[in-house]
Amino acid sequence: MTMRRLLTACVVLLMAGACCAQDEERHPGWEPEPGDLDPQQNIALGKTVTYAPAPNYRLTAEGDTDSRDLTDGVLCDHPRGHLWFQSKCVGWSYPGRVNLSLDLGQVEPIREIAIRIQGGSPQAGVCTPVWMAAVVSDDGSTWRQVGEYSTFRSGDNAKFGVPRYEGEAWVHRFRFSDLQTRGRYVGLSLYGTGVTVADEMYVFRGDHDPATCDMAALQVMDLSTSRPQMYFHKPYLCFTTNINTPNPVGMIAPAGFEAEDVVVTLELPPGVELVDGGGFGRGSREEPADPLSVVEGQPIADGWTRYEWSGTVSGNTKRWGRLFITGDWEDGREGELRYRLTYADGTEAPTTAVPLKAIEVPETPQPEGLTVGLSWYDITAMMSWPDSIDDFKHLGFNTVTSFVHRMGEPDDPEYADRWEFWERCRDEGFKLLDIDSTFHRMEKADEIYCQFEDGTHGSRICPSYRGEHYQREIQRVAEQCARARPHYLFCDIEIWNWRGPIDAEKCTRCRADFEASGLETWEEWKLQKGYEMWSDVVDAVRAAVAETDGPEVEFGVYDWVAGRDYQYTWPFDRLYPEYLQSAQPSTYTPLYWYHIMLVGDEVRASRAQLPRPDVLPWLSPGDAGTFDGERFRYALLECFCNGSRGMNFWSNRVWDAENMAAYSRAIRNLVPVEDILLAGELLEGAQLQTPGRISGVVSGDEMVVLVADYLREADGSVTVTLPVDGAMTATDLDTGEELRIGANGELTVPLEDVRARVFHVR
């Protein structure tokens, strides 16, 4: 599957035109500040920066200069401020945690550590990190944290002067200042977003005596650019007390790292226990390792319990493993856990303490009509989740996913357990979703590509090819659906970039097909080829499933939306509703406040062009930058209150207990009004009397209304005027509180402690 590459392709290509029009664009006017280019003040100048993982963004990596780009004193000069276009910058695509460090050559007094990073979200995922820590070390081994920035902590954006996100590029200099610290080695650890790009790092010498710095008072932090480092994805960890939910564990590995065996030590406080877990480089399908449920905890001091198990680190990954933790803590109780790695040579990483919080998840009814599941969290992951079917029901999920092409044959003993679990989910009442990378799995034979007059061929699939490999691919999809009998088939088709099949006009086969078609333009012809290709898939699937008495399959394709011809080839408006039953806009973001509104606007734009709420958007549960449960719930409510009837998510790597609990809460909010959401039209005519935001769906004389003030501009409450004929009641679907709506339609919504509230108006 290739969804992960979408943002990178869009960022690189959709903005490419800017490079051709630089003379017409304004220069952002960035200039060095006093001291930036003075090596006596900025003691990072000219130093070599090391990274783990290595920067992986293609355009910034050109020339292999990343080790010097952050300390060469050269700032980006792209006319629109787009750092990701320039090789003088350093970038990562969907990185997770990143470490970088430099050696000053000797212990120095340090007053400031800073870095310039791209923000503004000119594309949805091009953002500043969600978390960042500045660290120092005398010896390169023991690191101490001297500063932290976190989007999880209220007030940090104001403290660090971060500009507002509004969809326009800017570059911000994050400053950890007034440090009065010391170190020979200086590092930054950060959690990246969809695309994270920087162009310069600074370390400013202080005028204090480094010997007077009390380093022992600073928190020791695990950081390395030369050995593996385990991490959790947020600055804290939540666990659910009454059901099992997963928490992912990431792994940082430097470039060129060779696999290494390690020992994981996990220490849990009184009343908290390890239930199970998977991954950690343990075992294989042929020789599975014992589940972590067999690991016996050993009592240690103060009622704590220590668990230890062996694992193997083979590379950088966001999902090295998953942990299922539970306990008898009351909802909201806070504490901490501790962990560390022991390496093959016997050395130990520092013990890291992580804040811990308990969540009790109320039982949530499963919706009857809304489509709520975890999409890329497929059945193989569910099968390693203790009591997953019961827990899915408790959370309110009603849809289970598989990549059926990975499930093998039903009569193959090696895969029998997967098919048995799949059918058990059906028997338990779940809808079944098959996600497929259609056309990507076509055999890579020369004939499938565009053919050129000189006897060579292109590197992308030819839109007019209909030979044996095409037919086999159509049959593959049909046969897998006949076996699996899914309720939904959602595909990812990114076989060309955003410009579509650009080789077609040079292809001898396509030129002949175009002449025979009678169509006047290549644009029309490409859309006809896309229509044929997708309708071939649908017709074949329907015929094959009908022979097995399977359910009627609903079809959708990632990022195909109304009013837009995806890749200039796939005509949504011609295919809907016969060959497509949903629009699926995609917005992968770290859910800063701007992005939550952007998500809602994207869904509303799709819904406005459809006769029904046939919108199932794609969000990320954190791959493009993690976020707290509050922001996740608001994003979900924005989707449903702007015309969505379900959700999709990429990927399965960073789902955690907090986000699943937030998702469940959103489902509880919406189940009582799902009939309105499924039958209604977008709310029109509502007016804001104060700063804020309103979204909603109307059916008859009832509404579902979301009132928000994400940017905290309304001084504690938002007043709206709704298009009603008389006095009504707005019932908060989360708290049950009732607010009166005046005969003139005026509703004032208090928002002192929250940024959005969802109401049933009647």
pLDDT tens for each residue of 210-260 = 999 999 999 999 999 999 999 999 999 999 999 999 999 999 999 888 999
pLDDT of 287 reads 83
Task: Find the helix or strand (DSSP H, E) in which 660 lies.
Answer: helix 657-670
**CB 269 within 8 Å of CB 336:** yes
Tell me the residue length of the chain. Answer: 762
365: which strand partners?
Answer: none
**CB 219 within 8 Å of CB 145:** yes
pLDDT of 20 reads 39
Lowest-pLDDT choice from 23-32, 72-81, 268-277: 23-32
Task: Find the helix or strand (DSSP H, E) in which 49 lies.
Answer: strand 49-52
pLDDT of 233 reads 98
Indicate the Cα dihedral angle 528, 537, 440, 95, nearest 10°: 100
> CA–CA separation, 331 vs 583, rounded Å?
38
pLDDT of 16 reads 40
Task: Find the helix or strand (DSSP H, E) in which 565 lies.
Answer: strand 565-566
> CA–CA separation, 309 vs 287, rounded Å?
17
> CA–CA separation, 546 vs 458, rounded Å?
38
pLDDT of 363 reads 98
pLDDT tens for each residue of 481-505 = 999 999 999 999 999 999 999 999 9
* Side-chain half-sphere exposure of 168, counting CA atoms within 13 A: 6
**CB 306 within 8 Å of CB 297:** yes
pLDDT of 234 reads 98
pLDDT of 6 reads 41
Rounded to an integer, the average pLDDT of 422-447 is: 98
Q: What is the separation of C-alpha 313 from the centre of its chain, rounded to a whole number of angstroms?
A: 23
Angle, to 10 degrees, between the axis of helix 657-670 and the axis of helix 388-395?
50
> CA–CA separation, 193 vs 129, rounded Å?
6
pLDDT of 13 reads 40
Tokens of 89: 């910058």
Task: Name the pLDDT band for 22 (thresholds 50, 70, 90).
Answer: very low
pLDDT of 26 reads 54
Peptide bond into 651 cis (omega under 30): yes
What phi and psi values does residue 51 have, to the nearest 5 degrees? -135, 150
The set of residues, in sequence order, having a beta carbon less than 8 Å from that of 546 and lying 6+ positions away, is none
**CB 86 within 8 Å of CB 198:** no
Give the residue carrying structure tokens 């800073």. 114
pTM of the model: 0.96
8-state DSSP, 315: S
**CB 269 within 8 Å of CB 356:** yes
pLDDT of 631 reads 98
pLDDT tens for each residue of 254-300 = 988 899 999 999 999 999 999 999 999 998 877 888 999 999 999 99
> Which residue type is seen at 185?
Y
Answer whether residue 8 shows pLDDT above 70: no
Burial 266-291 (b: 16+ CB within 10 A, else e): bbbbebbebbbbbbbbbeeeeeebee
Other Cβ atoms within 10 Å of 683 Cβ, number: 22
* Side-chain half-sphere exposure of 16, counting CA atoms within 13 A: 10
* CA-based radius of gyration for the chain: 27
> CA–CA separation, 514 vs 566, rounded Å?
20
> CA–CA separation, 74 vs 87, rounded Å?
11
8-state DSSP, 279: E
Give the residue carrying structure tokens 């976020």. 627
Angle, to 10 degrees, between the axis of helix 629-640 and the axis of helix 657-670?
30
- For the chain, the average pLDDT equals 95
Other Cβ atoms within 10 Å of 40 Cβ, number: 8
pLDDT tens for each residue of 144-194 = 999 999 999 999 999 999 999 999 999 999 999 999 999 999 999 999 999
pLDDT of 283 reads 86
Give the residue carrying structure tokens 């509880």. 668
Rounded to an integer, the average pLDDT of 445-469 is: 98
**How far lies 528's CA from each of 449, 525, 616, in Å?**
18, 5, 25
pLDDT of 27 reads 60
The set of residues, in sequence order, having a beta carbon less than 8 Å from that of 592 and lying 6+ positions away, is 121, 127, 151, 165
* Side-chain half-sphere exposure of 389, counting CA atoms within 13 A: 12
pLDDT tens for each residue of 580-601 = 999 999 999 999 999 999 999 9
pLDDT of 9 reads 44
Answer whether residue 349 shows pLDDT above 80: yes
**Sign of CA pseudo-dihedral 326, 329, 332, 338:** negative
> CA–CA separation, 240 vs 359, rounded Å?
5
Answer whether residue 10 shows pLDDT above 60: no
**Sign of CA pseudo-dihedral 359, 362, 363, 368:** negative
> CA–CA separation, 346 vs 350, rounded Å?
13
pLDDT of 17 reads 40
Share of the chain above pLDDT 70, in %: 96
> CA–CA separation, 174 vs 369, rounded Å?
46
Answer whether residue 23 shows pLDDT above 80: no
> CA–CA separation, 52 vs 580, rounded Å?
43
pLDDT of 255 reads 87
What are the structural domains, with CATH classification, of the chain?
3-221 (2.60.120.260), 229-359 (2.60.40.10), 682-761 (2.60.40.1180)
The set of residues, in sequence order, having a beta carbon less than 8 Å from that of 422 and lying 6+ positions away, is 379, 400, 402, 407, 432, 484
> CA–CA separation, 694 vs 751, rounded Å?
13
Answer whether residue 325 shows pLDDT above 70: yes
Lowest-pLDDT choice from 20-24, 489-493, 744-748: 20-24
- What is the bridge-based pairing of β-strands 565-566 and 554-557? unpaired
> CA–CA separation, 720 vs 480, rounded Å?
51
Tokens of 603: 């869904």
Angle, to 10 degrees, between the axis of helix 468-484 and the axis of helix 522-546?
40
pLDDT tens for each residue of 630-680 = 999 999 999 999 999 999 999 999 999 999 999 999 999 999 999 999 999
Task: Name the pLDDT band for 28 (thresholds 50, 70, 90).
Answer: confident
**CB 235 within 8 Å of CB 152:** yes
